[in-house]
Chain A
Amino acid sequence: MIHKKLTALLLLFCTCTVTLCGCRYSYEISEMAYAVALGIDKGEQNSQRYTLQFAHPLKIAGQSEEGGEEQEGDSTSLISTQANDLFTALNILGNMLSKQINLTQTKLLVFSSEYAAENITEILRVLMKNNQIRPSTFAAVSVVEARDYLKEVQPSLEANPSKFYTLLFSKKNSNYIPVTTLRELYLDVTADGEEGALPLCGTAQADNEEGSNRKQSAILGNYFAGGAVNVEGSETEVAGLALFRGGSLAALLPSRGAELYNLCIGTFKPAYYHIPSDMAEGKHIILNLRQKRRPVIRVTLTNDKPNIKISFDLAAQLIECPPEEYNAKDTAALNRMAEDTIRRDVEQFLYETAQTARADAVGFGRHAKRLFASYDEWKAYQWPERYSSSSFDVHVNVNIENDGLIQSTGA
């Protein structure tokens, strides 16, 4: 009996070893071409240009601190083709390469602004349903061709391009771009009460003397990707906000727009904020601003017109202040000044996005849905059309907690 059981166990073990743990369907890492970024541009004759950026694992290992033999050359390479859809492109590119294309390590999707001006909802749906592409993949809009952006990217301070993109687009220390993943973009683009927003990326441009206003704005940290002044050491930039409406690109906003967007959706990271001085012309009060809690949003309808109330609760450190403005005993005046400035900025941002771009980037529509009993009633209200006639009531509370003798860097 024991012998029988042992034989049965051994047979089971052998069967499992052969059928379940075999190498028949396994793939070696060295046989894979891991794409770290996917760029999509508008192509000729209703087609698209798909660009894949591949990582070279051996070169990454050679350049990393962990060691490995030093390898010459770039840690990434680029390949692109024009095709009718992503899967045809993958077929074409897969046919060219010796290795099998794998998208499981893709960290960045870049759409050129020209391509994004058309409807991207379908490609997002396709990508979301693909089991290789992760929902947490970052997405961005390039102000230049996506292929050109990917060509110019030189991962600096980080040898691993995958980690470089993760660090760059998850931005834990800056508000100059929104942090948007494929999943969030897909949910926003397909929602009836919110529109998508993506970070802008681009290649560094030569300084343009004609655009002096833009230059003035850029040196105060308000610029589009590619518009920073006299940049050295980086060929690419990320800054600004691409706003969608119904799945199509509706407007591009500079980095200040992205800051205000982050503030409105409650993802504002502690950062320096410039407030123009009332008394000293050309000078600024600099605050290290921190969002204490997510903004409180209330949407009501008056004669079918949306009235939106949004309240911010902010804390700040006073970093720099012209002597004319500063009275240590009267921080209330500074608080009021900061509140007025931020309120004006937010109102301008909200009216501009509502009336010019006609896009509910903040997602007020999601809050408006509470006012409807059923989905049919909500659809009949046609929020995307009515949003442009919204009125905004912005309340800002700023509390300067100290004058920054010991300053937190905010990062």
Chain B
Amino acid sequence: MHKQAIIKFGRWESTSILMNALIVKIILGFPQQLSGRAGSALWLSSLLSGLLMSAIIWLMVKLYDKFEGMDLYDIAQRVGGRPLRAITATLVLLALLGQSAVALRLAVEGLSAATPYAIPPLLATLLIAVVMGITAYRGIEGLARVHAIFVPAILFALAFILIFTSGNYRITNLFPFWGLGAANTVWQGVRHVTSYSDVLVLFLLYPYMNNKQQFRRTALWGVNLSTLFIVLANLSYILSLQYPECSEFVMPIFQLSRIITFGDYAQSLEAIFLPLWMLSSTLYLCLSFVLLVRAIGDGYGIQHYKFATLPAIFCILVLNYLPHSMMTAMNIGAQLNAYMSIPGLALPVVLLIIARLFTNRKEGRL
């Protein structure tokens, strides 16, 4: 049924990949979007989302128990044959295409906004696109190694920002405790589980993992550690910037990094933010693009799928320029999150349940 991937990478690499895919959202503006909807209970909603996601991933890992080494396409094929495999690949492809285009636009626009002397956006876009193309051509192995090196650096920079903004915290910003209402806080928590849709990468990378223990540990550690960073980032943001002003500013982590000072003179530490921004978004873009190109090969059974690299890059570049502004791109990104949750969360759960039922029937348990 499925082809066993020859290249394998370790738990550190796989956890790094998953963490960056989840954490890039808070760097690209997730706290600002959520704060507009949850108010001062931003942290509470994000905690709820994290807890829900932890439960979902635990369930997914349990369901995946019988399908060691199989990615989402293999499971789709087991359930509905080649047509379902192709449908799944199409859904994944569309989600990754949209997400990559929006992430590319946000990465470049953010870079231009954060630097006083703007790098020409076109040059930055083209450079990132070239990197994405090379990565897709070279394959996932190098990318996994780069993740293993740079994701700890990204997490360190993020932790640095969160720790050193603590001097500006105002506990009273957490009140009113339920933000825009208790029911709304819970609803936003449930709704924002969709921001974890990039957990999809885990189900596409399973064939590269050594065994199911590695998959289980990657899933649980990756999601729970990411949740920790996401909740802390949201908490820091609301403690530093009260509602409703917190929903006014784009690039929340950048806003946090701007307020770090050591004494009267050591300032401008947002310089830390720029490599954080570029590294995290470039790694995410490369990963999405590699998976996108592989979706063409794995999903439709095309052997020479790498020829799709150039057309795919072209599509992303065209789509990337469709939104007229950064704000439009952010809004589209938020809507894409909801769509992304179909192949990222809903589809794996449904496919896994059906596949599990099939397996149980075959084994004579039902």
Where the two chains meet, the residues of A that have a C-beta atom closer than 8 Å to any C-beta of B are 19, 25-27, 104, 125, 129, 131-132, 134-136, 166-167, 170, 183, 186-187, 190-191, 193, 363, 366-367, 369-370, 372-378
Segment from B8-16, B173-181, B189-197, B334-342 that makes contact with A: B173-181
List B contacts of A131 (CB < 8 A): 113-116
CA A373 to CA B259, docked complex, whole Å: 29
Q: Mark B151-185, 1 if CB is under 8 A from A, else 0.
A: 00000000000000000101011011111111000
List 29 A-B residue pairs with CB atoms under 8 Å apart, sorted by A's residue number. Answer: A25-B117, A25-B118, A131-B115, A131-B116, A134-B268, A135-B259, A136-B259, A136-B261, A167-B264, A170-B264, A183-B259, A186-B245, A187-B242, A193-B172, A366-B172, A366-B173, A366-B175, A369-B172, A369-B175, A369-B176, A373-B181, A373-B182, A374-B180, A374-B181, A375-B39, A375-B40, A375-B180, A375-B181, A377-B176
Top 3 A-B residue pairs of the complex, sorted by shortest distance between their CB atoms: A366-B172, A369-B175, A372-B176
What is the bound-complex CA distance between A377 and B178, given in angstroms?
11
Cα-based distance from A132 to B268 in the complex (angstroms): 10
**A361 to B241 alpha-carbon distance, docked (Å):** 18
How far apart are A102's CB and chain B's nearest CB, in angstroms?
A: 8
Q: Report A295 CB to chain B, min CB distance, Å.
A: 14
CB proximity of B283 to chain A, nearest CB, Å = 18
Cα of A190 to Cα of B258 in the assembled complex, Å? 19
> Can you name the residue of chain A whose Cβ is closest to the Cβ of B123?
A19
CB B29 to nearest CB in A, in angstroms, measures 15
Is B119's CB within 8 Å of the partner chain A? yes
New contact pairs (5) apart from A134-B258, A369-B176, CB-CB < 8 Å? A104-B116, A131-B116, A134-B268, A366-B175, A374-B178
Main secondary structure of the interface of A (DSSP, over half): helix
Are A378 and B176 touching (Cβ within 8 A)?
A: yes
Task: Determine how close the nearest CB of chain B comes to the CB of A376; give it in whole angstroms.
Answer: 7
Closest to A130 in B: B116
B267 and A374 contact, CB distance less than 8 A:
no
Cα A372 to Cα B243 with chains together (Å)? 15
Contact yes or no, B170 A366, CB < 8 A: yes
Q: How far, in whole Å, are A136 and B262 apart by their CA atoms in the complex?
A: 11
Is A135's CB under 8 angstroms from B180's CB?
A: no
Report the minimum CB–CB distance from A124 to chain B (whole Å). Answer: 11
Is B248 an interface residue, CB under 8 A from the partner? Answer: yes
A266 CB to nearest B CB, Å: 12
Contacting residues of chain B (231-286) with chain A, CB-CB under 8 angstroms:
241-243, 245, 248-249, 258-259, 261, 264-265, 267-268
Whether B127 sits at the interface, judged by CB under 8 Å, is yes
Residues of B within 8 A of A186 (CB): 245
- Chain A residues within an 8 Å CB radius of B114: 131
Q: CA separation between A167 and B265, bound complex, in Å?
A: 10
Q: How far apart sit A200 and B277, CA to CA, in the bound complex (Å)? A: 40
Task: Determine the distance from Cα of A369 to Cα of B182 in the docked complex, in whole angstroms.
Answer: 15
Closest to A162 in B: B265
Give the contacting residue for B176; candidates A25, A134, A135, A373; CB below 8 A. A373
